[in-house]
Structures are given as C-alpha cells and as structure tokens.
Structure 1
Amino acid sequence: MDVVLTLATRYLDGTLTIAVTGELDIATSRQLLACLDAVFIQMARPRGDRSGDQAAVGGAVDEVVIDTGGVSFIDAHGLGALVALQNRARNHGIALRLADPSAAVRRILSITGLRHRLLPHSGMA
C-alpha cells in the first residue's frame, strides 16, 4: 500500500497557502518539510535567479498557511513536522498558521496541548 500525501501551493498577496491532503506521518512528513524549505531557498535567491520550480512564489512571503482540512491521518511525526514548520517560518520572520484543521488534526492538537500554539486564535473545542 502506497502512502500518499498531496501538497498544493498557492501564493496570493504575500500569503503562501499549502493545502495538505492525505496522511501526514513518518512516511510523508519530510515531503511537507521539503516543500517549505524549497520556498525559503527560493526566497533567499536574488530576484533574477529565481527559476520556475514548483516552490517559486514570485514575491515576498509574509505568512504561510497550512491548510490541513484534507489530512485524514496524522501521527507524532506529522505533528512534529508542523511544529518544525512553525519554527522554521519564525526563524525567517514569517508567520505560520494552520487553517481548516481536519478532525484528525484537531484531535492530536487537543491531546498534545499544542492547539494554542498552532491555532492561536481558534475557537476549536
């Protein structure tokens, strides 16, 4: 059985949204980390040196939104990846937040007490 994680990126007015669909776990979490790392590498290049790769955003990124509405399963490695993403974004002076957390994501955030860190303005129960 192949574990599939699909990432779709969208850039609009300084906000990079990464929509995550599938299982975010030990087998797939590196894929999500690599996506954001590619964005940071792209941002660090001189403007004229930005190739047309998948992570090219074409402008400054002020905020990264991780849309986790399509996450069907998440384990400790997936949660660790989300925390690592937030730390990496913060190190680059970029805000990162989760949007539309699936039931699986809401559950692990509640169990671990991390919902206030990753969803600071959420009314999530």
Structure 2
Amino acid sequence: MMSEKAGDRAHPPGARPPVRRPRLTPEREDEFLAAALAVVRETGYEALTMEGVAARAQCSKATLYRLYGSKQRLVATAVSRTRRAPRAGLDTGSLRGDLLAAARRVAAGFTESTTLVWGV
C-alpha cells in the first residue's frame, strides 16, 4: 500500500496546481484606473468595454471583473480616485513656485476633467 504525500492529495494526477496571483499593488491598480479613464476619454462611456480597458492596462478582462465587478463600478472608482489625487510634490523651494505648480496642476486637472466629462 502506497502512502500519499499531503501535497499529492490537493491536486489530482494530471491537474495543474492553482496559480497564485501576485498581490495587487496600489501602483498596478492606478494603472487599471488610468487605463479606464483613457478609454473613456477616447471612446466615450457607452463604447468602453472591459476588453478595451484590459488591453490598455495589459491585464485580463477577468482581473478587471474580479476587482470591480462591472464596467460601471470600474469607471466610478476611476473617477472618484481622480478627485483624491495626492497633492504631494509641490515643494519647489519658494512660495511663488509652489503656487505656480499648484495652479498648473489644477489647470491640468480641469483639462482632464473636461475630456472625461465629454467621454461620459
């Protein structure tokens, strides 16, 4: 009588062991959300597909559905995340420089928001 090893019982003969997914980093999630916003800006919300976002983000469609569940939730998460963008990195060494950098960042945000609104 042969004894089974603990690892052998978990996977039937010929079956592949499950693939461990790497932990989702905040940077990678930002890439998914940026891809969603880019696709909305380019094609509009109605034409956005999870396949298109997945191709842009270089991930699988299943990954997006696993994380967000739906197109609506993906886009809503992406839009809400843009409103909470970090304001770090404005230390230019002078108050005038900081204010100019902040103004440029706000202006860029308005431009991005305008194209996003047109896309939605």
Interval containing the TM-score (normalised by the shorter chain)? under 0.3
Q: Please, what TM-score do these two structures have when normalized by structure 2?
A: 0.28
- Of structures 1 and 2, the one with the larger relative CO (CA 8 A, separation 6+) is 2
- Find the structure with the greater CA-based Rg: 2
Q: Please, what TM-score do these two structures have when normalized by structure 1?
A: 0.27
- Give the structure with the larger helix fraction: 2
